[in-house]
Amino acid sequence: MDKSLRKPVIAGNWKMNNTPEQTAALISEMKPLVAGADCEVVLCVPYIDIYAALSAAEGSNIKIGAENCHWAEKGAFTGEVSAQMLKAAGVPYVIIGHSERRQYFGETDETVRDRVRAALNAGLKVILCVGEILGERELGITAEVVRKQTKVALSGVTENELSNIIIAYEPVWAIGTGLTATPEQANEVCKIIRDLIAELYSKESADRFVIQYGGSMNDSNAADLLKQYDVDGGLIGGASLKADKFAAIVKAAC
């Protein structure tokens, strides 16, 4: 049991915010603030901002990610972007299965699984999101929901491929609401996920597996959340749109 086996990953999820011009300005502001951080720093941005983000982040420790990808390599899927296209554009990371995709765009555990497969095949690193809605927490079925989402998404993923996946535990009731899970609640579910990785693969892989917390993480609650044994980083929405706040979270992780 050694938390230091895992390098924390702090990832911003910009959602549908920022034009290419705003992207370049925000990343230029962030670069010096996160330079030299002893953790992985990622910013996931809208497709239209990817080139601006890659160019603004060049030569820095900031890695760029997309917020989704399609499961097919190419074809008649108007409005979609494939994992191969992202890879070819030079994007290393992609978020898959975010609760807003599940809630508003018909994403299911099965389409999440197919997108994870496509992203891994293309050589991308996946930030896989799982998490319960408020009603599920109140019913006491959080563990069941999170275990099922994780199990389906990982079906077909080999143990070797696990090094290209991280999981973000994001309780849906905490996203964008200002309500944060307590450090204990966050750790409890991150541990459930780690135990599942041990069950599906091995204890060694589980000990190395990075699990983030996401849901109203900010500069004042990050340190307490990130101190938890099973919390290895954060997926940050709102607070990743402000350079100083995001940098403060990065500092709390390193």
**Residue 37 neighbours by CB distance under 10 Å:** 17
By CB under 6 A, residue 249 contacts ligand PGA = no
Smallest gap, in angstroms, from Cβ of residue 158 to ligand PGA? 27
70 tagged catalytic: no
Residue 176 as a binder of ligand PGA (CB under 6 A): the answer is yes
Q: Establish whether 144 is a catalytic residue.
A: no
| Main-chain dihedrals φ then ψ at residue 8, nearest 5 degrees | -60, 145
State the catalytic residue, choosing from 98, 100, 132, 136: 98
User: Are the C-beta atoms of residues 152 and 109 closer than 8 Å to each other?
Assistant: yes
Report helix angle 142-154 to 109-122, nearest 10.
Answer: 40
215 is an interface residue for ligand PGA by CB under 6 A: yes
For the chain, first and last CA: distance in Å? 19
Asked if residue 81 binds ligand PGA (CB under 6 A), the reply is no
Number of residues that bind ligand PGA (CB under 6 A): 13
Separation between Cα atoms, residue 179 and residue 182, nearest integer Å? 9
Q: Is 199 left (phi over 0), alpha (psi -120 to 50) or beta?
A: alpha
Please identify which residue in 226, 238, 243, 245 interacts with ligand PGA, judged by CB under 6 A: 238
Catalytic residue among 67, 107, 136, 170: 170
- Out of 9, 130, 190, 217, the only residue in the binding site for ligand PGA (CB under 6 A) is 217
Site residues (vs ligand PGA, CB under 6 A): 13, 170, 175-176, 214-217, 235-239
